[in-house]
Chain A
Amino acid sequence: MFQAIDQIFVNLLRGFLGHLPEPIRPWAGLVISLGAILGTFGLLFGLTTVCERKAIARMQNRLGPNRVGPYGFLQFIADGIKSLTKEDIVPRSADKVVHFIAPLALLVPVVLTYLVLPFGRNMVVLDLDAGLLFYFAAGASTELAVFMAGWSSRNKYSLLGAMRAIAQMLSYELPFILSTIGVVMVTGSLSTVRIVEAQGPGDGWLAHWNVFTPWGFAAFFLFLIAAFAEANRSPFDLPEGESEIVAGYFLEYSGFKFALFFMAEYLGMFSSSALAVTLFLGGWTAPVSFLGFVPSWLWFFLKLGVLMALFIWVRGTTPRLRMDQLMDFAWKFMLPLALFLIPVVVLWDRVGRGWVGWVLCGPIVAAAYVWLGRALVGRRRIQLRTYRYASG
């Protein structure tokens, strides 16, 4: 019974594919899975925008959208219709072709990243040997789309926004990738499916989620912060700072193309959250073995929902960073800490991953955190600011 509910989507797909002729089965499976992923996460995108607006409103003691549908939850449909029917404006001097391709070039890699994410037991589209590498390869091409959008608009603000976005994404890509290396080392595989299976409860009753290790805890937060920056979310939303560069690289986009950018941003946020769930929060595994009867996909989306709530909460809390603070944080704090975690993982593995590991690795990670944190913010002298060009 539980087994049937757990595998319901897998069996549905398999049953449907059984009616198709043999040669087109893999392709049909791919297309149907992609359709399902786009549908699910498209709906999730809409609901998240509404929830985000409502939650942030509540944090500011406002009401938020509450007019369209029950409690305003159909607001995203109204917004979608508005976006679709809006006039699509292309600036006269814009590079028309690149301007047109940019939103697609952003959306396609983001959608590709979903192919290697396991949403439940046996629910992964491509179980690649190098799944994690596939994720990072697809994610790396989004920067190019941002550049295309900013450059083709022929607008100074757009170009500035694109430059900021690329500088930020390149800087945070390093801790983003380096923080996952510990997981890969412990699991001994780049396959996302293996990584999730390795975190399952196994024979014991408690799951071995990577976040419940000293290095995993630190790496999880490093990964999450880098994911915030990759998604251009507050506090790392310099690329679209309204007060100084209007809207950043998608300034010259309107209507449907803007909706595509918006959607790509949220889908990217979902996919990096989903990767965080996969790598650190045990993917679709239950935290304790007696909760194993709950369908695996439900666990996955539950954890995803928790991370999305965290994203929204942080957005409602933090102001925007300054450019030098942004770069300092990436290069002087996150990168050294991520590199430092690699030998810690080796130590953890050598001493047997048990309480001895906790006793040894825990203080080391904490000390590294405190020391790097002090080096980043502690020794700042307040002095008169000098300008190279403005004074004199």
Chain B
Amino acid sequence: MSPMIYFLSGVTLASAVAAMTLRNPVHCALALVVTFTGLAGIYLGLGAQFLGLAQVVVYVGAVAILLLFVLLVTRSGEAGDGDRERDRVAERSWWGWLIALLVGAVLAVGAWSAGQLPQRAAPPELPGVRDIGEALMTDFAMPLQVVGLLLTAAMIGGAIIALREDRMRVAAEREGRR
């Protein structure tokens, strides 16, 4: 399985780099989809079936589509809106560098300390879908409910924002027509 993991890691990394560097935002989003899929492949290779498949359902099936919709709805032009915007982004790029450095540091510390941890024997059998389901419904029932509530609140909030804007526009138009 090892060469497969290396191959998938390579694809994931390459597509992540592509997602950051490509000019056309839609290409970036599509490259990000490849990243998601590669990640799902790594999960599957490690035997985490549920996680890997849920990754595909949620990220490839929903999040990527959402991203693409947002790109299409908010951007009027096609690729790159000109140099000004790029300059403006470039001025603040040090923020990005800072965050990247921080994330990298955290990951490095984590990787280093993982070597220090006492080695535990792997469980004799990998947890299957049934175990995950049972854990979610018993031990983690409360967190699951909270997450559900959070998502519902976010959805209702989104609906309200969209609704209010629409109403305001209609009202403004009526005002204008008079």
Direct contact of A and B (CB under 8 A): yes
Q: Scoring B residues 114 to 155 as 1 if CB is less than 8 Å from chain A, else 0, what string do you get?
A: 000000000000001110000000000000000000000000
Q: How many residues of B contact A (CB 8 A)?
A: 27
Name the segment of B8-16, B56-64, B82-90 touching the other chain: B56-64
Cβ 8 A contact of A144, one of B24, B33, B49, B177: B33
Chain A 154-170 interface residues, beta-carbon cutoff 8 Å to B: 166, 170
Known: A144-B65, A170-B65, A190-B129. A130 touches B60 (CB 8 A): no
Q: Chain B residues near A170 (CB, 8 Å)?
A: 62, 65
Q: Chain A residues near B91 (CB, 8 Å)?
A: none
Q: Chain B residues near A130 (CB, 8 Å)?
A: 49-50, 53, 128-129
- Minimum CB–CB distance from B106 to chain A (whole Å) comes to 30
Q: Chain A residues near B40 (CB, 8 Å)?
A: 137
Does A143 touch B at the CB level, under 8 Å?
yes
Q: Do B30 and A98 touch (CB < 8 A)? A: yes
Q: Chain A residues near B20 (CB, 8 Å)?
A: none
Q: Scoring A residues 134 to 148 as 1 if CB is less than 8 Å from chain B, else 0, what string do you get?
A: 101110110110011
Does B170 touch A at the CB level, under 8 Å?
yes
Chain B 1-60 interface residues, beta-carbon cutoff 8 Å to A: 24, 26-27, 30, 33, 37, 40, 49-50, 53-54, 56-57, 60
Q: Chain B residues near A144 (CB, 8 Å)?
A: 30, 33, 60-61, 64-65, 68
Does B81 touch A at the CB level, under 8 Å?
no
- Minimum CB–CB distance from B173 to chain A (whole Å) comes to 7
Q: Do B170 and A388 touch (CB < 8 A)? A: yes
Among B50, B53, B60, max chain A CB count under 10 A is at B53
- Minimum CB–CB distance from A170 to chain B (whole Å) comes to 7
Which residue of B is nearest A167, CB measured?
Answer: B69
Which residue of B is nearest A143, CB measured?
Answer: B65
8 residue pairs from A and B, CB less than 8 Å apart: A129-B49, A130-B128, A130-B129, A141-B56, A144-B64, A144-B65, A151-B26, A166-B69
* Other 11 A-B pairs with CB < 8 A, given A140-B57, A144-B33: A129-B130, A130-B49, A130-B53, A130-B128, A133-B50, A134-B49, A136-B57, A141-B60, A144-B61, A144-B68, A173-B61
Closest 3 CB pairs of A and B: A140-B61, A137-B56, A137-B53
Which A residues are closer than 8 A to B by beta carbons? 95, 98, 128-130, 133-134, 136-138, 140-141, 143-144, 147-148, 151, 166, 170, 173, 188-190, 388, 392
